[in-house]
Amino acid sequence: MTLHNAKTTQELKTIIEKCNETFGFNITEKNREEKYAFARMCFFYFARNFTDHTLSEIGDLCNLHHATVIHGIKKYESLIKYEDFKKISDKVKFQFEIPYFDLDSEKNSVEKQLRETEKLLDFYKNKCEDIECKLSTARKRIGNKQLETDILDMFETLTTDKLMEFVEYRLKPFIKMTNK
């Protein structure tokens, strides 16, 4: 077992211990009672969201198949909407000790996603500038300055979310169509 595996296995064992403490029984016992099933669902959900383990690795600690883990996570997400289940789940969540989780890698992952999103935004801003240039040319051809002004005003008022939506569902198909 490598050092990384030992560290991350400790993370999973810590989550199991916290679930066991909260629920008052061993969640890895082979038992189909509802209280055991919900406790395992909590474990599956927290293990999947707070560690980088695969579904198989999470299931192995409870001697369960990865498909059972998937089902448990989906079931947890549907049950957590109810106040009774949310209260129990929160008891487990608040017991976690932060040092067991690698927050630096999570921060790096978020920063990486942010950089990729910024690159995409820059790319589409350049595409928008290119479209503005084409609009200017089209305006000269048709002599309709108001059309260009209206479109440019629209771009200036768009939020980032709306701009991304516009790019995804309008601009990309338009660019694809005009490049053929």
Domain co-membership, 137 together with 50:
no
**How far is residue 75's CA from residue 54's CA, in Å, rounded to a whole number?**
18
Q: Last residue of a domain, which of 59, 84, 101?
A: 101
Q: Last residue of a domain, which of 101, 121, 142?
A: 101
Identify the DSSP state of 26: -
Domain co-membership, 31 together with 50:
yes
Q: How many domains does the chain have?
A: 2
Domain co-membership, 86 together with 109:
no
From first CA to last CA, the distance across the chain in angstroms is 53
Domain co-membership, 71 together with 112:
no
Give the global pTM: 0.49
Instruction: State percent of the chain over pLDDT 70.
Output: 78
pLDDT of res. 119: 79
- What domain range includes position 153? 104-178
Alpha-carbon torsion angle 7, 113, 159, 144, nearest 10: -170
Domain co-membership, 28 together with 86:
yes
The CA-CA-CA angle for residues 119, 124, 130, to 5°, reads 135
CATH number reported for the structural domain that contains residue 89 in this entry: 1.10.1750.10
**How far is residue 122's CA from residue 117's CA, in Å, rounded to a whole number?**
9
pLDDT of res. 98: 42
Domain co-membership, 114 together with 79:
no
Domain co-membership, 82 together with 151:
no
Domain co-membership, 79 together with 162:
no
Question: How would you write the pLDDT of the chain (180 residues) with one tens digit per residue?
Answer: 333 455 557 888 888 888 888 888 888 888 888 888 888 888 888 888 878 888 888 888 888 889 999 998 898 888 878 877 777 777 777 666 444 445 555 666 777 778 888 877 877 777 777 777 777 776 666 555 565 566 667 777 777 787 788 778 877 887 777 776
The CA-CA-CA angle for residues 105, 109, 113, to 5°, reads 170
Beta strands, E only, 5-134: none
pLDDT of res. 156: 74
Domain co-membership, 13 together with 81:
yes
Helices (H) and strands (E) in the chain, counts: 9, 0
Q: Last residue of a domain, which of 55, 86, 101?
A: 101
Domain co-membership, 87 together with 70:
yes
Domain co-membership, 55 together with 132:
no
Domain co-membership, 142 together with 170:
yes
Helix or strand holding residue 124 (H, E): helix 103-142
